Amino acid sequence: MLGSKLAPKSVSDDNLKSSSRYYIALDGLRAVAVLMVFCQHYGAAKAWIFGWGWTGVDVFFVLSGFLITGILYDSQNKQHRYRDFYARRTLRIFPLYYAVWLAILLLTPVAHWQWNWRWALWPAYVGNYARFLFLHVAGDSYQFDRILFGQTVEHWFGTPMHLWIGHFWSLCVEEQFYLIWPFIVYTVRKREALIKICIGVIITMPLFRWLLTVVLPLPLLRMELFYRSLPTRLDALLIGGLIALLLRGPEQKWLSTWRHRVLAGAGAAFVMAYLISVKLLKLPFYGSATNWIGIVGFTLIDVFAAALILECIHPGSWLGQALSFKPLRLLGIVSYGFYVYHDLLHDFFALFAMRFFPRMGYAGIVVTALMGTALISTLSYNLLEKPMLKLKARFTSQVHLTPRN
């Protein structure tokens, strides 16, 4: 056990045959991922580099696949494995998510939301498909990514005000994954067979997305269909699942030895694909809605994210030590709430900054949003999420096992 901040914390459990480890560096990685998404929503129009913030969601997907697959595989012989898994996921995800929707519902008489039944897709965790299902509905195709306040509230603030809910799409994708993957892991059971499933999906997914580019209309692809739907993002989640399974077998030594090469190789391959597509072939670039990114770019980014995870959990890793920096860890702990609130209240942060810090301009909006979101998410974690998380102890047969290095 290392004496540095990277050292994993052991969690004792009489029901487990081996020790469980919690790598604090992964909290730092969560913080980096959520800050990338924050920069996408608040800075993409100001700086080119911030326009790549959407890749933070890929980091979350790969990390979720890694952790969830580890939990499922390690608990497959437990008597109440389904109950424990879904109870713990419910206690972690639902309280905050549905508290937000309950607040929206209760504020309806005051806010006079301009909404209809189609917004119910979001509480049902299928809102990531809303913009694609209702293209025939008159008006802005992206109208289901936001809820508009009524004219009374608009008069109060002197400007149109929205609740931005479009970023909830990634929560929908993960929840849909949680409904499917446990049944596959618990049914198949054998590690080698699960590895083959992961590899098969990872290899075929770029081909599947390419076929979709042939048969689907271009406007639909430009609306980030590949980016926002579970069927086209399975490789991200299963790349994380794959490394979790490989770490639980003899391949662990290979991964430890080759992690640097995987990291460098994936990064170099993506840069090469970008240069060839954008600079040499002069193909149009639309960020996460770009065809070539949808076909091969997602997979390369996800492999890179997986290599980052391997680097984070490796003892003595410089990256793990950097991401174990306490402020990053603290942000990582509340990253779920930070993600939910940061864009939800975008208009409020902007209005507050422009009224109270008008001379700061754009910088004032960014600082206000960053500090405001950090404060709200910290309060949310301590007052709402943390009490619910304590109940997870009642389902102790599901503890994430991280293999020894």
The mean pLDDT of 286-296, rounded to a whole number, is 91
* pLDDT at residue 163, rounded to an integer: 94
Contact at 8 Å (CB) between 341 and 376? yes
Low-confidence winner among 11-25, 88-102, 160-174, 286-300 (lowest mean pLDDT): 11-25
Q: Give residue 397's pLDDT band: very low, low, confident or very high (50, 70, 90).
A: low
Say if residue 33's pLDDT is above 60. Answer: yes
Find where tokens 């293999």 sit.
Answer: 403
Of 49, 53, 31, the residue nearest 40 (C-alpha): 53
The mean pLDDT of 307-332, rounded to a whole number, is 93
End-to-end, the C-alpha distance of the chain in Å comes to 10
* pLDDT at residue 158, rounded to an integer: 87
* pLDDT at residue 394, rounded to an integer: 75
Q: pTM (2 decimals)?
A: 0.91
* pLDDT at residue 208, rounded to an integer: 97
Using one digit for the tens of pLDDT, what is the confidence trace for 234-260? 999 999 999 999 999 999 998 888 888
pLDDT above 70 covers a percentage of the chain that reads 92
Q: Give residue 114's pLDDT band: very low, low, confident or very high (50, 70, 90).
A: confident
H, E, C per residue of the chain:
CCCCCCCCEEECCCCCCCCEEECCHHHHHHHHHHHHHHHHHHHCCCCCHHHHCCHHHHHHHHHHHHHHHHHHHHCCCCCCHHHHHHHHHHHHHHHHHHHHHHHHHHCHHHHCCECCHHHHHCCCCCHHHHHHHCCCCCCCCCHHHEEECCHHHHHHHCCCCEEECHHHHHHHHHHHHHHHHHHHHHHHCCHHHHHHHHHHHHHHHHHHHHHHHHHCCHHHHHCCHHHHCHHHHHHHHHHHHHHHHHCCCCHHHHHHHHHHHHHHHHHHHHHHHHHHHHHHCCCCCCHHHCHHHHHHHHHHHHHHHHHHHHHHHCCCCHHHHHHCCHHHHHHHHCHHHHHHHHHHCHHHHHHHHHHHCHHHCHHHHHHHHHHHHHHHHHHHHHHHHHHHHHHHHHHCCCCCCCCCC
Angle (deg, nearest 10), helices 230-246 and 251-274: 140
Q: Give residue 396's pLDDT band: very low, low, confident or very high (50, 70, 90).
A: low
Which residue has better confidence, 392 or 146? 146
Rounded distance between C-alpha atoms, residue 373 and residue 337, angstroms: 8
Average pLDDT, the chain: 89
Q: Give residue 53's pLDDT band: very low, low, confident or very high (50, 70, 90).
A: very high
* pLDDT at residue 202, rounded to an integer: 97
How far is Cα of residue 300 from the mean position of the Cα atoms in its chain? 17
Low-confidence winner among 14-18, 46-50, 74-78, 399-403 (lowest mean pLDDT): 14-18
Low-confidence winner among 1-10, 15-24, 244-253, 295-304 (lowest mean pLDDT): 1-10
The mean pLDDT of 353-366, rounded to a whole number, is 91
* pLDDT at residue 2, rounded to an integer: 33
* pLDDT at residue 21, rounded to an integer: 62
* pLDDT at residue 342, rounded to an integer: 97
Using one digit for the tens of pLDDT, what is the confidence trace for 175-226? 999 999 999 999 999 999 999 999 999 999 999 999 999 999 988 999 999 9
pLDDT above 90 covers a percentage of the chain that reads 71
The mean pLDDT of 52-63, rounded to a whole number, is 97
Say if residue 3's pLDDT is above 60. Answer: no
The mean pLDDT of 138-153, rounded to a whole number, is 88
